[in-house]
Structure 1
Amino acid sequence: MEFGQLSPDQFENMTFDLLHAAGLKNLVWRTPGADGGRDIEGTFTSIDFSKYYQHDRWYIECKRYSNSIDWPTVWNKIAYADSRGADFLLLVTNSNPSPSCESEISVWNSGKRSPTVRIWRGYELEGILRNYPQVAAKYGMLGKSTEAELSLQSLMFEAMKLAQTSYVSHEIGASNVAALEANAALAELISARYSQIRTYGRIVAPLSNALAPNYEWLTWNGPADGWDEVGIRALLSMARYLTGSQGVEATSDKERVMLLLNNARFEIAGAGEKAFGDVANLADVEVKEISKDSVTLSRRR
Structure 2
Amino acid sequence: MDFSALAPDQFENMTFDLLQAAGLRNLVWRTPGADGGRDIEGTFTSIDFSKYYQHQKWYVECKRYSNSIDWPTVWNKIAYADSRGADFLLLVTNSNPSPSCENEILAWNSNNRSPLVRVWRGYELEGVLKNYPHVAAKYGLLGKTTDAELSLQTLMFEATKLAQASYVSHELGVANTSAMEAGAALAELVSARYSQIRTYGRIIIPVNVTTAPNYEWLSWSGSLAGWDDIGIRALLTMVRHLTGSKSIKADSTGKHLTLLLTDARFVIAGTGDRTFGELATWADVEIEEVSKNLVKISRRG
> Shift in Å at residue 282 of structure 1?
0.6
CA deviation string 1:162-217 (max 9, x = no partner): 01110110111001111100000000000000000000101111112421111122
| Partners of 1:200 and 1:4 in 2: CA distance | 18
- Counterpart of 1:221? 221
* Aligned residues of 1:284 and 1:300 also touching (Cα < 8 A): yes
- Counterpart contact for 1:34–1:80, Cα < 8 Å: no
Aligned to 1:249: 249
Mapped to 2, the partners of 1:294 and 1:43 lie a distance apart of: 19
Instruction: Identify the residue that residue 9 of structure 1 maps to in structure 2.
Output: 9
Report the secondary structure of 1:163's partner residue: helix
1:243-299 deviations in Å (ceiling 9; x for gaps) = 122211111123111111122222222211221111111100111111111211101
Q: Give the SS at the match of 1:123.
A: helix
Equivalent positions of 1:1-301 (< 5 A) are 1-301=1-301
Q: Give the Cα–Cα distance (whole angstroms) in 1 for the partners of residues 218 and 76 of structure 2.
A: 49
- Secondary structure of 2:46's counterpart equals strand
What amino acid is aligned across from residue 84 of structure 1 in structure 2?
A: R
SS at match of 2:205: coil
**2: CA distance between counterparts of 1:51 and 1:253?**
40
Greater RCO between the two (CA within 8 Å, min separation 6)? 2
CA contact (8 A) 2:29 2:39 kept: yes
**Unaligned 5+ residue runs, structure 1?**
none
CA distance in 1, matches of 2:88, 2:243: 35
Q: CA deviation at 1:53?
A: 2.2
Which amino acid in structure 1 is aligned with residue 193 of structure 2? R
Once residues 103 and 260 of structure 1 are traced to their aligned partners in structure 2, the CA distance between those partners, rounded to angstroms, is: 50
In the alignment, the residues of structure 1 paired with residue 275 and residue 129 of structure 2 have an alpha-carbon distance, to the nearest angstrom, of 19
Rounded to whole Å, the distance in 1 between the matches of 2:180 and 2:254 is: 28
Distance (whole Å) between structure 2 residues aligned to residue 59 and residue 256 of structure 1:
23
State whether residues 21 and 274 of structure 2, in contact with CA within 8 Å, keep that contact through their aligned partners in structure 1.
no
Deviation at 1:11, TM superposition (A): 0.5
Hey, what's the Cα distance between the residues in 1 that align with 2:295 and 2:53? 27
Q: Kindly report the root-mean-square deviation, in angstroms, between the aligned alpha carbons of the 2 structures.
A: 1.1
Describe the SS at the equivalent of 1:248.
strand
User: Distance in 2 between the 1:224 and 1:27 partners?
Assistant: 24
Q: Residues 36-59 of structure 1, C-alpha deviation per residue, up to 9 Å, x if partnerless?
A: 321111112222223322221111
Percent of paired sites with the same residue: 73
**Structure 1 counterpart of 2:86, one-letter code:** A
Q: Distance in 2 between matches of 1:80 and 1:34?
A: 10
Change in Cα spacing, 1:164 to 1:209, as seen in structure 2 (3 Å) is: closer
Distance in 2 separating the partners of 1:153 and 1:209:
26
Separation in 2, partners of 1:209, 1:228: 6
The alignment partner of 1:11 has SS state of helix
1:143 is paired with a residue whose SS is: coil
Contact 1:211 1:225 in 2 (8 A): no
Contact 2:12 2:63 in 1 (8 A): yes
CA contact (8 A) 1:34 1:77 kept: no
Q: Distance in 2 between matches of 1:77 and 1:171?
A: 59
Runs of 5+ in structure 2 lacking a partner? none
Secondary structure of residue in 2 paired with 1:54: strand
- Residues 71 and 104, structure 2, Cα contact 8 Å, conserved in 1: yes
Given residue 296 of structure 2, which amino acid in structure 1 is its aligned partner? T
The TM-score with structure 1 as length reference comes to 0.97
Whether contact under 8 Å (1:24, 1:44) holds in the other structure is yes
User: Aligned with 1:242: secondary structure?
Assistant: helix
